[in-house]
Structure 1
Amino acid sequence: MSRPQVTIALLVILMGLVTTLPMVSAQLKPDIDANIPAYQPVAPISGHLLIVGSETMKPLSEAWIADMRAYYPLLTGSVQSGGSEEGLALLFEGKAPVAAMSRKMRSQEIVDFKREFGYEPTEVPVGIDALAVYVHKDNKLPGLTLAELDALFSDERRRGLSYNLHRWTEFLLEGDYQEASIKLYSPNRLSGTTTFFREHVCNDAPFKKRVEIKAGPASVVMAVAQDRYGIGFGGIGYRTSDVRPVPIASVAGGRYIEPTFQSAMEGSYPLRRPLYLYINRAPKSTLSPAVAEFVKLALSYQGQQVVLAKGYYPLPTSDISRLRATWAPPIRAAAEDGPPKLRD
């Protein structure tokens, strides 16, 4: 091939790359559907709104609280993010009206809640997260299966892998990785992220004793960013330029799937999970206007913009329409803004 022909060929390739870049960007950060209704403020609201629970959802909860205060200057609000398990405990104790959770409540937890209050909690999905498995940005690991992840974090290997995994050389990595031990990081046990990972990856088996426990997903990502030989997990919203999410395959020989908007929405990414608000909402009773409007805001165009801005993925428009319909009727002002009390 002559030099002019080579130059033309290179130009064609470069033009192709340029034209595909916007498509990749759009896939990673999609536009919010303009058909999602915008939030419309109601009559003035006062009092204090407390949101408890998931650290993964802390950026969302704080942003929604800030928006609520902008709409309602007489309203105050705070976010207490000790983990999904702590948020659920406070919801059970009647100390908070809303628990933000990065996992779905278990059937037994719903039974226990109904035993305490006489009715089930109200479940509201508000966004979608891809629980990512992070390695250092220099780590060239091409992907992991769920069975390999299980063998990394649990000695019991309930997914059936016949051998344990301790060193990076077992993944055929080159350079200094050949002699390096794998350092494991996890959020604390109160984190819904940890609960989800143990249930969906390790089949609820306990972690290895050498797993280093961090305060939450943000701390895990920070640790991996500073440790070339580390691996940990957390929501996709915690991704930074110093770490890399590893593509995951459901089974050996399966296709490695990256945690993207498309894979999360279509369900092909194995560790996709909705993000929830759980609300203590007694049937035929008056709900705090602050709680009702908080939910409406989260399910609005502005609320889903927050989901996207914080690195997570918005709900499908059809799901939002269905959820909003249950919150459409105006909520009469409550006599008290406090959470419902436990039954005697």
Structure 2
Amino acid sequence: MTYQELAEAARGKMGICKACPVCNGRGCLGKIPGPGAKGSGMVATRNYSAWQQVRLLMDTIHPTFSADTSTTLFGRALALPVMVAPLGDVNRHYGPEYDQETYNDVILRAASEAGTIAWTGDGLASSIFEGACERMGELGGCGIPTVKPWSADVVREKLKLALAAHPVAVAMDVDAAGLPFLKGQEPPAGAKSVDELHEIAEVCHGSEVPFIVKGVLTPRAAEKAIDAGADGIVVSNHGGRVLDGVPATEEVLAGIVDAVGGSTTVLVDGGIRSGLDVFRALALGADAVLMCRPFVVCMYGGGAQGVKDYLSQLQGELADAMEMCGAETVKDISRDMVMIAGE
């Protein structure tokens, strides 16, 4: 099934989410709990529209080839440079069709069977993270658990659970300190210093597991994450859910890539919805992308098969763009294959 068909099948099952034919943030403006963005909600819509301003420069004067969309991240071979981004509370934000345990099981299995990786989330209920790590461990560590920026003692306990699952990597979404539903809650969450992140990285490295900092939006923040020992960063504004008025991830990606100069793995999320968008992100320097909201829609519309169908659609769209722009492999995608409208 196509994404549009899966969205139609999901419509009416997802609470606040309207399962729009194009997931551009307009149908859920300001809806938190729910899939919307904070305040005006416009950051989510800007994330989507910014990618559409990146034009692909077609060039078919080259030998015929079948594009190879495979890549390798953190020692794991992937069929395509797309991973499923973390979701911490599917009931709170998308309705009762799935409980968190079932959601994690389906998303981890489907992503793995399609040749990629799912990230799992965290939330106020300790069972959310515990269940994700337990399932990940049972499935051979086929994912990346994402810890919220809780107080130090809570983070230590969660790291033990995460590392016991032998995951591909461990992430912390540092920007989650701004989530409205975490404000004033227990356990407490907040900003993390370079020293605090360094301690977390050291714990991960002691188990030979990479550490990723998610929620980087400036070159300076990227440099601080690297100073802390991060093996990767995710250029992300949390889908607009943590602060209104910030730039789209597309607007800052190339500058961050240039600033880090290949010294760490750079991932990006926010408004990426098609294989063309994946090509755009890689052309601006990302090593791979993360996507969340559309995969939730696909699961509600078609279960595990819906997730795999969407990944197949993305892979086909990416391969088509690569062949039409002269990039035989993912590493061949370069910045001179795109232009920004108006520049």
Higher helix content, 1 or 2: 2
Higher strand content, 1 or 2: 1
TM-score normalized by the length of structure 1: 0.25
TM-score normalized by the length of structure 2: 0.25
